[in-house]
Chain A
Amino acid sequence: DAGVIQSPRHEVTEMGQEVTLRCKPISGHDYLFWYRQTMMRGLELLIYFNNNVPIDDSGMPEDRFSAKMPNASFSTLKIQPSEPRDSAVYFCASSLPGARVDNEQFFGPGTRLTVL
């Protein structure tokens, strides 16, 4: 299995532009998570889905952030409009209850976003 796939790996954009981050979870995993990692705030859970349904989006910082999961193999995280303080590494992770340990999370390589 290729693991969790994220694209792009790096994104540089200008303030005010729309940014779309993409994630393909591991096949068969029914949980999908979006995280943001910064030096200042560490690793933050933004939102997670179960069977394509958003369960908890309390970590989404503002209305500028939105996430969708139209099917079991694809999710997007969109920022519109982007701001310099959104600069971070964004991780997608997926998990399957009943794996080696309940809800072991498998992380993608991350998307490093820089907003100028």
Chain B
Amino acid sequence: GEDVEQSLFLSVREGDSSVINCTYTDSSSTYLYWYKQEPGAGLQLLTYIFSNMDMKQDQRLTVLLNKKDKHLSLRIADTQTGDSAIYFCAESTSGGSYIPTFGRGTSLIVHP
């Protein structure tokens, strides 16, 4: 199976919260990342969390990490149409020179 898995699509109404989920297999992961890809562009790092943290908040973004279940989530509060994009979960380890392993991406569609 894939090292990093995430659902492919999520549709939400503008103003609601979005929660994008991800599971990974490497228990030695050091960093976990969320990258955002807007239409026609490359990926851009949105936020990240160290593996020794449970939660990280950055304005409308909340990252939750459950190491026991190897589960990562990204919550976007008050989702806007500008948040429509593909969101990639990724993990890296020191043993892998911190080269990220990416999931396949979740397409977030925000409708009015």
Seen from chain A, the residues whose Cβ lies within 8 Å of a Cβ on chain B are: 4, 31, 33, 41-43, 45, 48, 50, 56, 91, 93, 97, 100-105, 107-110
Seen from chain B, the residues whose Cβ lies within 8 Å of a Cβ on chain A are: 30-31, 33, 35, 40-45, 48, 88, 92, 97-100, 102-105
**Complex contacts, B30 vs chain A, CB 8 Å:** 102
Nearest-CB residue, chain A, relative to B6: A42
Asked whether B104 lies within 8 Å of A43 as measured between CB atoms, the reply is yes
Nearest-CB residue, chain B, relative to A44: B102
**Complex contacts, B103 vs chain A, CB 8 Å:** 42
- A52-B110 Cα distance, complex, nearest whole Å: 41
Q: A42-B105, A43-B88, A43-B105 are in contact. Are A103 and B100 (CB under 8 A)?
A: yes
**Complex contacts, B88 vs chain A, CB 8 Å:** 43
Nearest-CB residue, chain A, relative to B101: A45
Nearest-CB residue, chain B, relative to A100: B45
- A109-B105 Cα distance, complex, nearest whole Å: 17
- A42-B69 Cα distance, complex, nearest whole Å: 24
